[in-house]
Chain A
């Protein structure tokens, strides 16, 4: 095995010290500000690097569901505005996935429309037969979109709904509106 033939202690020391100093400079000015928002020199902020680390704060957001107020529901129930039965705001945290389900009996309908506040989400719209423990599910639609709508005629009695996966660094809010014959099971 070869190494450098003319290594002297002086040149070795120089290489080691030079590499450490260079590494520390790169870490302090670029890597730590950009990755961890640690900015001891203040240069990271001036260069705009700390912005990169700040999106990570989104990671602390928990999945939430906010059911829209009853007043709005009353209007919608009467079919005066748009005729939706239920409307929820679901927050999918950055880099996380969640499921939101409805219980629908065989042959009954679930009409839906959902839209995110911008980013596209990976989703799998699927159903699991009631009482099935094998983990079997039937996928109705799988895609990467920021909105989707349609009507599901349940092929079997069971739990039907969406798996959404947020692959971005920011939390995404979905507004899901539904109507039909179902029971809300909610966040799984």
Chain B
């Protein structure tokens, strides 16, 4: 077993550990649920909006994306990596909501925070230096995409969806997420594009990715504290 496979199995193990239905109930109260049940049919646009808003204002997803595209210079590469990320989070978003798995939102958000630290460390050349080679970045972005999807699923489950319109609302939310991601990426890619024309982009690359890791660590501490104080 080579080290990359080991890592993959470790991450899969982590996913399984997080499926702990007994420890977590993060839904809305029953009256709200009752109310939401009666708003079926007209909920496509609201869920589209909720999904887009979650992504545009989701600093954890955005920081990770900044890390991913930091050293991607060709539009084609950006498209490939973002597609892998989208594939990953769509799978687990749909799967997580559909199978009504209760994942602890703090823990899943902690993994998302860790993904930011991971990407910052990777960008700093940390893996190349320590392992001699960089773990496959495409696989990494796909696997972290899976975790980000579970995070999205916990947010959507807050709305305690009615059974009948589950698929419609869920897909609306998912499409909203992609719309929001596209909008956010337009800004990120444009801004990074401008900055890349200057030498400062490269002289600040180390600082930028150190700050990215800092952001990841702050979110990690924030989520883990939430997890341990909520028990």
Show the binding face of A for B, using Cβ within 8 Å. 1-5, 7-9, 11-12, 15-16, 18-20, 22-24, 26-27, 31-32, 35-36, 38, 96-99, 124, 135-137, 163, 165, 188
A9 to B131: give the CA distance in the assembly, Å: 12
CA distance A5 to B202 in the complex (A): 10
B215-231 vs A, CB cutoff 8 Å, 1 = contact: the mask equals 11110111001100100
Q: Which of B28, B32, B130, B216 has the most CB of A within 10 A?
A: B32
Tell me the chain B residues, 119-150 only, with Cβ under 8 Å from chain A: 120-126, 128-130, 134, 137
Point out the residue from A4, A20, A35, A188 that lies within 8 Å of B217, measured CB to CB. A20
A96 to B35, CA, bound (A): 12
State whether A4 and B222 are in contact (beta carbons under 8 Å apart), knowing that A19-B120, A22-B214, A26-B214 are contacts in the complex: no
A98 and B35 CA atoms in complex are apart in Å by 10
The smallest C-beta distance from A165 to any residue of chain B, in angstroms, reads: 7
Report whether over half of chain B's contact residues are helix, strand or loop; otherwise say mixed.
helix
Given A4-B206, A36-B225, A36-B229, do A163 and B31 touch, yes or no (CB 8 Å)? yes
Contact partners of A2 in chain B: CB under 8 A? 71, 73
List of A residues within 8 angstroms of B206 by Cβ? 4, 11, 15
Alpha-carbon separation in the docked complex, A27 to B221 (Å): 7
Q: Which residues of A contact B124 (CB under 8 A)?
A: 3-4, 7, 12, 15
Chain A's closest residue to B71 (CB) is: A2
A1/B137 in contact, CB under 8 A:
yes
Looking at A5, A12, A24, the one whose CB has the most chain B CB atoms below 10 A away is A12
Q: Are A27 and B38 interface neighbours, CB within 8 A? A: no
- Complex contacts, B34 vs chain A, CB 8 Å: 99, 135
